[in-house]
A and B are shown apart, each in its own frame.
Chain A
Amino acid sequence: MMPQRFEHEKSSDSFDPQTPSSIETRTQEIGQEIFQASRQTIFQKNFWYNKLLELSTSDPRVKTQLFRFVDVLPALQDSASKRFHLIEYLQRPQSATQWPWSLSLVSSLLKVPGLDQALVRISDFQVGQMAKNFILGSGPEEALPKLLERRARGMAFTLDILGETVFSDSESQYYLRLYRSLISELGDQAKAWKRVPQIDDSGLGPIPPVNISLKVSALACHIDPMAFEASIATLQSRIEPLMRLAMEKKVFINFDMEQFALRELTRELFKRILSKPEFRNYRHFGIVVQAYQRTSLADVEDWIQFATERGTPFTIRLVKGAYWDYECIQANQNSWQPPVYLEKKESDANYERCTWALLKAYPKIELAMGSHNVRSLAHGLAVAEHLGLPLNALEIQMLYGMADPFKEALLKRGLRLREYDPVGEMLPGLSYLVRRLLENSANDSFLKQSFMDKTGIRELLKSPTHKGE
């Protein structure tokens, strides 16, 4: 089968930060097509989850209480203390004049003997269900059939191990062993998997069906950017064997990007490892760039430079970034300039600039667009088309349990789509869950606007650099 190509429009490689009008036109067209092809279903099938989001958008205080409650419930050990917390979180705070009647009602019913146990069980179950919306399974065994099912539907995966903060060597050893066995076992099993050309080939040739997202902070305790060299040395000694194993088993390893505090460290670590002769010729490594960071365009340029020097491509997963609140709070408390853009629009615009730069550098470097924002994705697709790149030159990545209607539309277009699939227990998954809840309930969330607020498609597809309003 001949690789499909983007429809070639015109050959111009001039980088224009003001998107050429033809690209803007195509972005709108592609965006419209994706929306038309998407099932316009309700946001999520889970009733309680919808209820939670609905309530949480009514009043910031309600949101705080509900999210805090989701955050604490799984940590509680017995039903008495669950009941105690439920009452506390759902009753009207003294300072609030208005409070959703449904929450007050549940809170009062919890004081009724007999009913309380049932309500605790329901809440427990519902929070568990909510977590299941975003977490693929509690362990690799549970996740594997689901991963294969995804591949059968034409969707690739990257596996993410949920974890608590690592505080000791025994904890970091645990994650090391887990990663090692995942790479080794999935790598071996994958040899028997049926190839799915739409996802198993990039523009540069075959790519591994097994793709693992690695959090470097899980691999050593007391990592501190202040102790830069020592931290890198420790991490390098632990990660290199994993990377070696990944090469042997033909597995893709992607470095996730966490807080800004670890940005330089993670970047330097990735560079040092990839520059070593033994790792130099392996294409299936990747790292994340977070477009909400003010430094991200410079980082992209630097990665292109690095890829050029290295001579073998690797992948940049371009995301907007999920630690926005945290970064702003950190900066504020330490009297620092926030490292992130304060306006969502600015991040969106920067995302498009980074997309441009990366696609222009193809095939020195490969791009995976991690976003649920149809506008951002359509823009990337329009740029790729404009540059005449093969259809599988770029990959699209979306989170498990998010934006499912769009996933189908993208698959139908013949695009290479990868799902980010978190695996782990409820407790270590909580910070991930709360990040998703925050993301989905934020007023500027693309998904919320698309499916809950029913914002018009034209409005949703508007260029982030669009002036006006």
Chain B
Amino acid sequence: MMLTPFKNAPYLNFALETDRQQMLQALHKVKSELGKTFGLHRAEVLSSSARKTLASVNPSNPSQIIGSVELATKEDSLKALELMTKGSYEWKRTSVEKRIQLVEKLADWMEARRNEISALMVYEVGKNWREADADTCEGIDFCRYYAREMSRLSQTRVTQVVSGELDTLSYHPRGVCVVIAPWNFPFAILTGMAVAGLVTGNTVIIKPAEQSPIIGAMLAQGLREVGFPDSAYYFLPGIGEEIGPVLVDDPRTDMIVFTGSAGVGLSIIESAARKPHPAQRGVKKVIAEMGGKNALIIDEDADLDEALQGALHSAFGFQGQKCSALSRLLVHEKVYDVFVKRFVESVKAYKCGSPLSPEFQVGPVIDSEAQQRILSTIQDGKKRMKVLYECADVPPEGYFVPPTVFECEDSQENLFQNEIFGPVLLIKKIKSVEEGVQLANSVRYALTGGIYSRSQSKIDYVRAEMEVGNLYINRAITGAIVERHPFGGYKLSGVGSKAGGPDYLIQFMEPKTVSENTVRRGFAG
């Protein structure tokens, strides 16, 4: 099957009137269609449902219902597992060309309504236009990239040429794949994980986050409309604590693909590793991407304009609710005073409000629970650290948290060591790049990190020593792009990630080596 070379979906260019209008129109259209209810499995729009439903709300305006989904029970989960197990037989045997073609069609489907998908994200999770657009583009990129990756990996490879024997290596689907997705990239990550599972020939149970089920329903709707068989995917929105363990523990589950907190990720890994149930076919494979505690070093010779911009964007983009977000800014003592003063002044000029209007740089956090958790973390931090800035002008409605900047002296500080996942930044003074790297590595995570420096030897040092999956030099530390920046970390940040890179799909498959003796009665065929 001939595929054009991979190209990233172009972002909207908000410097252009046409592109701004596209977004405004999409927001308008999406608004007029809010409030629908989507069913289990195929995410069809229901006029009524006898089941319990879950309403998803706009975090800027919690009285606005974005839509509802039927809530899966334990029984529903078992039914989904049964269907996917049965479906696996056929889906595995569906030609790889057909699977690739479906994924390409899915990308086309997404492209045709990309602005509506983005607009829905603005409503459902409070992303601003640019962040929502990037999320949608990333989802499209995952489809196109994995389609091409699968095309590459589906070529059976001759391992070594030897006379009288044909030796090949090929990759085969694992079986039933459970996808447990986060709300922070409600479209891109969900799509990436589900499509990786499907294109490699696994049947997939798609469990969207409770905070973003309507975006999830959008993906399921796409799968249905472009013709993925009902027996290959199952849209299963539900409460993580209830159905998560059922899905993870079931002997029919072959692999679990998870993105979320380290706590949940570790317990998934633990349950998956438990001694197999007699009915279980093998050891479960887990892919888990589990957050970060990311640091950025500002060296004495950094271009401070650039560094300031990069740090601001990395710390407060989408309210710091990215696994890649900056939460520890390590500033060289020689530029500390100048830089920190400018930085804090700059954060002061940020305005908080609903991302429906593009003038606000800081939107709401995802839900009331997150809001309360982050607010109390801030209160806790105040007991030990100096507050350099805490925004006082935050909308009373909605789940807003004031952007907050602390000055940290003790690297053992709880907020310095543990993920906050909100618009909270700690700044710490360092004496050298070496000290910066040592502090950066002092946490249990290793996801993203970076340095602003104009010294090649310092850059080389950081390149070699900083413990991160994605290192960014003289640029912001968020915003990984498919193929260009394969994304994922190690230590507590994850196992087997690197989404959007050449190593990702292999994990969804079992490699098989076949050696065939081609010698019959002394002659080789």
Identify the A interface with B (CB < 8 A).
Answer: 68, 71-72, 75-78, 81, 84-85, 88, 93, 164-165, 167-171, 221-222, 224-231, 260-265, 334-336
Cα–Cα distance between A335 and B457 once the two chains are bound (Å): 32
Cα–Cα distance between A171 and B334 once the two chains are bound (Å): 21
A78 nearest CB neighbor, chain B only:
B334
Tell which of B50-58, B178-186, B344-352 binds the partner: B344-352
What residues of B have a CB within 8 angstroms of the CB of A164 in the complex? 304-305
Identify the B interface with A (CB < 8 A).
Answer: 7-11, 13-17, 20, 128-130, 300-305, 308-309, 312, 334, 342-343, 345-346, 348-350, 357-359, 361, 454-457
Cα–Cα distance between A168 and B338 once the two chains are bound (Å): 13
**CB-based contact B309/A165 at 8 Å:** yes
What residues of B have a CB within 8 angstroms of the CB of A227 in the complex? 357-359
**CB-based contact B15/A262 at 8 Å:** yes
**CB-based contact A85/B301 at 8 Å:** yes
Cα–Cα distance between A310 and B358 once the two chains are bound (Å): 31
Q: A72-B301, A85-B454 are in contact. Are A222 and B361 (CB under 8 A)?
A: yes
What residues of A have a CB within 8 angstroms of the CB of B130 in the complex? 226
B306 nearest CB neighbor, chain A only:
A165
Cα–Cα distance between A168 and B14 once the two chains are bound (Å): 22
**CB-based contact A81/B300 at 8 Å:** yes
A224 nearest CB across to chain B (Å)? 7
What residues of A have a CB within 8 angstroms of the CB of B128 in the complex? 226
Cα–Cα distance between A393 and B95 once the two chains are bound (Å): 72
**CB-based contact A169/B358 at 8 Å:** no
A334 nearest CB neighbor, chain B only:
B11
Q: A165-B305, A170-B345 are in contact. Are A88 and B457 (CB under 8 A)?
A: yes
**CB-based contact B334/A77 at 8 Å:** yes
Pick from B7, B17, B349: contact of A222, CB under 8 Å:
B349
Q: A227-B359, A334-B11 are in contact. Are A168 and B455 (CB under 8 A)?
A: no
Cα–Cα distance between A264 and B13 once the two chains are bound (Å): 12
Cα–Cα distance between A334 and B346 once the two chains are bound (Å): 26
**CB-based contact A168/B303 at 8 Å:** no
B83 nearest CB across to chain A (Å)? 39
Cα–Cα distance between A3 and B130 once the two chains are bound (Å): 54
What residues of A have a CB within 8 angstroms of the CB of B301 in the complex? 72, 75-76, 81, 85
Q: A71-B454, A170-B345 are in contact. Are A228 and B20 (CB under 8 A)?
A: yes
What residues of B have a CB within 8 angstroms of the CB of A93 in the complex? 456
**CB-based contact B11/A335 at 8 Å:** yes
Cα–Cα distance between A227 and B15 once the two chains are bound (Å): 9
**CB-based contact A224/B358 at 8 Å:** yes
Task: Please indicate which of the listed interface residues A167, A221, A228 has the most CB atoms of chain B within 10 Å of its own CB.
Answer: A167
Cα–Cα distance between A225 and B346 once the two chains are bound (Å): 18
Pick from A76, A85, A171, A261: contact of B15, CB under 8 Å:
A261
List 20 contacting pairs A-B, 8 Å CB cutoff, sorted by A: A72-B301, A72-B303, A75-B302, A81-B334, A165-B305, A167-B342, A167-B345, A167-B346, A167-B349, A224-B358, A225-B14, A225-B20, A226-B20, A227-B357, A227-B359, A229-B359, A231-B359, A264-B16, A335-B8, A336-B13
Q: A230-B359, A264-B17 are in contact. Are A169 and B349 (CB under 8 A)?
A: yes
Task: Please indicate which of the listed interface residues B7, B10, B129, B305 has the most CB atoms of chain A within 10 Å of its own CB.
Answer: B305
Given pairs A168-B345, A171-B345, A228-B17, 15 additional interface contacts (CB within 8 A): A75-B301, A75-B454, A77-B300, A78-B334, A81-B300, A81-B301, A93-B456, A167-B349, A169-B345, A226-B128, A260-B15, A262-B15, A264-B15, A335-B9, A336-B11
A220 nearest CB neighbor, chain B only:
B349
What residues of A have a CB within 8 angstroms of the CB of B456 in the complex? 88, 93
Cα–Cα distance between A231 and B312 once the two chains are bound (Å): 19
**CB-based contact B348/A168 at 8 Å:** yes
A466 nearest CB across to chain B (Å)? 33
A96 nearest CB across to chain B (Å)? 13
**CB-based contact A75/B14 at 8 Å:** no
What residues of B have a CB within 8 angstroms of the CB of A170 in the complex? 345
Cα–Cα distance between A85 and B457 once the two chains are bound (Å): 10
What residues of B have a CB within 8 angstroms of the CB of A81 in the complex? 300-301, 334
Cα–Cα distance between A170 and B302 once the two chains are bound (Å): 22
A360 nearest CB across to chain B (Å)? 27
What residues of B have a CB within 8 angstroms of the CB of A225 in the complex? 14-15, 20
What residues of B have a CB within 8 angstroms of the CB of A336 in the complex? 10-11, 13
Cα–Cα distance between A229 and B24 once the two chains are bound (Å): 13
B67 nearest CB across to chain A (Å)? 26
What residues of A have a CB within 8 angstroms of the CB of B342 in the complex? 167-168, 171
Cα–Cα distance between A78 and B333 once the two chains are bound (Å): 13
What residues of B have a CB within 8 angstroms of the CB of A230 in the complex? 357-359
What residues of A have a CB within 8 angstroms of the CB of B8 in the complex? 335
A111 nearest CB across to chain B (Å)? 14
